[in-house]
Structure formats: structure tokens, C-alpha cells
Amino acid sequence: MRWSGQELGVEQAGMLPGLARLDNLVRSVQTPEFAGVTFHEVLAKSALNKVPGQSVVPFGWTINPYRGCSHACVYCFARPTHTYLDLDAGDDFDRQIVVKVNVAEVLRTELAKPSWRHDAVALGTNTDPYQRAEGRYSLMPGIIEALTMSGTPFSILTKGTLLRRDLPLLAEASKRVPVDLAMSIAIYDQELQQSVEPGTPSAAARLATVRAVREAGLDCAVFLMPILPYLTDTRAHLDEALRQAKAAGATSVLYTALHLRGGVKPWFMQWLAREHPELVERYRSMYYGNNAYAPKEYRKWLAARIRPLIRAHGLEQGREDAATGGVRSSALGRSPGDAPGFDRAEASARLATSAQGLGPADPAALF
Ligand code: SF4
């Protein structure tokens, strides 16, 4: 492999105690192309995550090929998940990226199980599958192929322009299974965007990706999430955001005001105090105590402001998947194999062929 010889000693248990406890860590790697970032390559035991708290069908399912995200959004609600690894929810979340190098193989095995119901699967609802690491590891093509060949509908939400690389594959996939794509673009002020989401591509680059998705013949929603109170909720900003989304060909837009859950709040407030100290007290009064959501009055005010603008720009208001928080799969409410041209027998045969050589059918035996 081209990065051979660039390994860190994985025996540095004192440096990463949580990771060292994992019995599936292969190695930790740093490379000059990703200055300041360490990749921790692991062999995943499972690929499909069932969204907790779901008692109704269809269940919410997600896949997260990476843990941590170099897009580094200060408001990212996934930050606290890093503390499970004894890493912190701040810089470590941005720079210590766990990579499930075998995720596609494990996924193929899970999807081949007779018990798999072909519920829609969401990618990008926890960490971004098209963050920069994907340029190095290319995990998504294998995931897309596995989902497609098994007849499993899926959705992808991302801020990553690397999505363009996989558009031919996604266009093919959409002939076989429902595929729903969404680009998250919430901040159209370049200086603010670079400050709040320092590792992300610019809004212009993401809008160009929306255009490319549409040119590939696929729908693309734009997520205006999160809208930051007193920073991006002016009529002028929202109007410009919707104008640009419409011009890029967005098929629908979804919006929501900032959520600030417990583990994220200190990180976000630290940023706010540094960049916009004048807003600290206003945010404290909105997100006081354990309050993760913007107050109801604010959300009503925001809806009254943005909904007429959405209509004025001729955009449709999209719907979130209540289970995963991602883009709602167009497969919900219909049978999984309903996409035109989908042939379940052929898909099963192809999957069986593809799975050959993967070794044991039991994912646990992969370790
Ligand atoms: S792109 Fe998404 S997952 Fe990545 S840091 Fe930003 S909000 Fe979190």
C-alpha cells in the first residue's frame, strides 16, 4: 500500500488509551497529505447500525465508515461520540479519524443474511462519508455497490464534493434501487463558513456539486442546517441561500435551527466567545441548562420568515427521515425492490458472486 512505512506505533497505548483497548485496531497512520490528522484503521465488527429507540418498522439504519470528521464543524452533534474512545469531542474529533477499512466487506455479509429486510439505509447522518479521508480510503464505492446489489434503498447526506467521483456509480445504482442525495449547505457567507466549518469545501463548491448531481440525472436536496440564530437567519442571508440553491438545481430544501446538545455546547460556546462575544449571552439564554433545541418561539419565528421565501423561490420543502435525521428515503412507503429495472434474483446472484472470497459468512469471524 502506498502509505506503508508511515505508520505510528500502535503500541503507544498511553497516547490513545481508548483506541488501544479496541481489539480491532490495525494501525494508526499519519501522512504528509493530511497534516495534523491521524487515521486509526480498524476492522469493523458490523457495518449496519440500527438507530436506537426504534420500535416500529421500517427501522432506521445507518452506516458510518468513519468516526470523527475532518470537516470540523463547530456545531457538529456527533462530537460526543468520540469520548467513547477516550478522545475529546473538540480537536480530537476533527483530527483523530477512525476508519473502518473493511466496512464494505462486512456490509456485504450483513446484507446477504436472509433476515435483512431491505429497509432504507442512511449515510451521512452521524459523520460525513465524503470527508477528506474518503479520497484516501475509497470506502464508498464498495458500500454503494453492496447496497445496490442487495436491493437496499439508501440515502446520502454530505458536505463533501468528493461525491462527484461516485456520481456514475450512483446514477447506475438509482436504476436499481431508490437513491436519495442531499448536500448540506447552510452558510453562504464565506468568512463565516470558513470559521464555523473550517474543514469543509466552500458553499460555491458544494453548489457546483449539486449541479453535477442534477446533471447526472439525480435529484438533490439542499439541507440549510443548521441555521445559526443572529448569524445566518437574516432575511437577506436566507433569501440569498435559497436563490443559490434554486439556481444550482436543488429539488427541495430542508431547514432547521441550531441544536446544541450537551457534549457539543462547550465547544460551540468557546468558538462563539472567540468569534462573536456579543452573542454569548443571547445564546446562553436560548440554549440554557440542558436545552438542546432553540426555543419554540424562535422556531416559529424562523418558520414564518423562511417558509414564504422557500415558496417565493419555487422550491419544495423536503422532509427529514424521522428515524435517522437524514434525507427521507423515497423508498419509504413502497417495497424495496420497486425501483425500475431492479431484478432481485439477478441482484442476489451478483451479490453471491461478489461475496465469494470474502471468507467466513459470520462477521464476527472476520477478526
Ligand atoms: S460534516 Fe457533518 S459530520 Fe462532519 S463535522 Fe460537519 S456536521 Fe459533523
**Residues 110, 113: Cα–Cα separation, whole Å:** 6
Lookup: cell for 283: 445564546
pLDDT at 329: 80
Length of the chain equals: 367
pLDDT at 24: 87
| DSSP element (H, E) containing 210 | helix 203-215
Neighbours of 114 (CB within 10 A): 4
Ligand 1 atom closest to Cα of residue 160: 1
Domain ranges of the chain: 16-360
- Give yes or no for a contact between 216 and 178, defined as CB atoms under 8 angstroms apart: no
For ligand 1, say whether the CB of 78 is within 6 Å of any of its atoms: yes
pLDDT at 358: 27
Place of cell 442476489: 348
Beta-sheet pairing, 179-184 with 221-227: parallel
Which residues in the chain land under pLDDT 70? Answer: 1-23, 54-58, 333-367
pLDDT per position as a tens digit, 303-360: 999 999 999 999 999 888 877 777 788 877 554 444 444 444 454 444 334 333 222 2
For residue 227, the number of C-alpha atoms closer than 13 Å in the C-beta half-sphere is 27
Q: Evaluate the omega torsion of the peptide bond into residue 58 and state whether it is cis, within 30 degrees of 0.
A: yes
For ligand 1, say whether the CB of 69 is within 6 Å of any of its atoms: yes
Tell me the pTM: 0.86
- Mutate which of 82, 128, 130 for ligand 1? The one with the most ligand atoms within 8 Å of its CB, which is 128
Helix, strand and coil content of the chain, in percent to the nearest 5, comes to 40, 15, 45
Q: Which of 125, 175, 122, 116 is nearest to 150 (CA)?
A: 116
pLDDT at 338: 45
For ligand 1, say whether the CB of 193 is within 6 Å of any of its atoms: no
**Residues 26, 22: Cα–Cα separation, whole Å:** 10
Ligand 1 atom closest to Cα of residue 197: 6
Beta-sheet pairing, 25-29 with 252-257: unpaired
**Residues 216, 219: Cα–Cα separation, whole Å:** 9
For ligand 1, say whether the CB of 107 is within 6 Å of any of its atoms: no
Beta-sheet pairing, 61-63 with 49-50: antiparallel
How far, in Å, from the CA of 14 to the mean position of ligand 1?
Answer: 28
Architecture field, domain 16-360: Alpha-Beta Barrel (3.20)
